[in-house]
Amino acid sequence: MTALSVNLNKIALIRNSRDTRNPDVPAHAQQCIDAGANGITVHPRPDQRHIRAQDCFDLADMLKVEFNIEGNPFTGPRASDRAGVSDYPGFMDLVREIRPAQCTLVPDGDDQLTSDHGFDLTRDGDRVAPLLEELKSLGIRTSLFMDPVPEQIRLAAQVGADRIELYTESYARAFEAQENHEAVFAEFVAAAEAATECGLGINAGHDLNLHNLPLFATLPGLLEVSIGHALTVDALQMGLIEAVRAYQLALGKGQ
Ligand SMILES: CC(=O)[C@@H](O)[C@H](O)COP(=O)(O)O
Ligand SMILES: NCC(=O)COP(=O)(O)O
């Protein structure tokens, strides 16, 4: 069965609009887990717009399910736009200290609105390989954020990743427009087959939602989806507990 890892970035985004702990990130993690989530994902960014380093420490202290930290390994500390709130030590230093169950490397620029591409390992493979080796030596499962391109996915295995996370925005956009989405989904199936052939586990995420998830959940070998934005928006209507349950149902899990 595919695991559901709930991404809490958007809970932290709301929290950061006040100097309070409301909404409280660990409390929301606990609600997701109580409702049946299999893991928690966060994506700290250097600009501190949502998840901050302290959130990662707080979550690491309380989580008993899989903790997945995503981000760009080549980012360092950066002065915050708001004096006094920057606690970002750089992605790799944060992960070295926390040692989450899974670390997903994502090739984002510092100022992106959101993630918008997977790794080009023809270019970055030599830089990524030693990081994967180090993470694995710390007991952390590794994953690389990848476009659904079989040649690139084979390189992910060559540089030593345990898993890939397929970047699903192209599927989400095609599904929303109901244009060619079966052909786009077939690209993801081919990518998943390439991953399985070379021994990689398969995660996926980005803009998955209650409408597009049932078809995506049929992807062969899909181990985990991480979902944040749409689930948080749905929680505004349904409440967080019902939203998590609805996503588990969309993944084909009965209640
Ligand atoms: C790698 C990925 O697809 C997600 O982590 C996504 O980037 C969420 O980040 P934001 O919540 O900052 O958009
Ligand atoms: N890795 C994808 C993720 O964690 C959540 O992405 P989104 O659902 O917020 O687009």
Q: Read off the pLDDT band of 111 (50, 70, 90).
A: confident
Q: Is residue 175 in a domain?
A: yes
* Alpha carbon of 129 to ligand 1 centroid (Å): 22
Q: Is residue 255 in a domain?
A: no
Q: Which residues of 141-156 are buried (b: 16+ CB within 10 A; e: fewer)?
A: bbbbbbbbbbebbebb
Q: What pLDDT score was predicted for residue 110?
A: 82
Task: Indicate the SS3 state at residue 5.
Answer: strand
For the question of whether the overall pTM of this predicted structure is more than 0.90, the answer is yes
User: For residue 77, what is the domain's CATH number?
Assistant: 3.20.20.70
Share of the chain above pLDDT 70, in %: 96
The more confidently predicted of residues 87 and 125 is 125
Task: Output helix, strand, coil percentages for the chain, rounded to the nearest 5.
Answer: 45, 15, 40
Q: How many domains does the chain have?
A: 1
Q: What pLDDT score was predicted for residue 81?
A: 46
Task: Indicate the SS3 state at residue 248.
Answer: helix
The predicted complex's ipTM stands at 0.97
Q: Which ligand is nearest to the CA of 227?
A: 2
- What are the Cα distances from residue 116, in Å, to 145, 168, 188, 208? 10, 10, 16, 14
Atom of ligand 2 nearest to the CA of 145: 1
Give the other-Cβ count within 10 Å of 21's Cβ: 11
How many alpha carbons lie under 13 Å from residue 122 in its C-beta half-sphere? 4
Q: How far apart are CA 217 and CA 204, in angstroms?
A: 10
Q: How far apart are CA 241 and CA 31, in angstroms?
A: 7
Q: How far apart are CA 25 and CA 67, in angstroms?
A: 14
* Alpha carbon of 167 to ligand 1 centroid (Å): 10
Q: What pLDDT score was predicted for residue 254?
A: 73
Local structure of residue 19 (DSSP, 8 states)? T
Average model confidence (pLDDT) for the chain? 95
- The range of the structural domain enclosing residue 82 comes to 3-250
29 Cβ below 6 A of ligand 2 = no
Atom of ligand 1 nearest to the CA of 145: 1
Find the mean pLDDT for residues 57-73.
97
Residues tagged active-site: 43, 70, 206
CA neighbor of 227 nearest in space, from 239, 210, 241, 214? 210
200 Cβ below 6 A of ligand 2 = no
Maximum CA extent, the chain: 49
Atom of ligand 2 nearest to the CA of 206: 10
Q: What is the CA radius of gyration of the chain?
A: 17
Give the other-Cβ count within 10 Å of 78's Cβ: 14
pLDDT tens by residue, 238-255: 999 999 999 999 999 975
Find the mean pLDDT for residues 115-127.
97
Q: Which ligand is nearest to the CA of 225?
A: 2
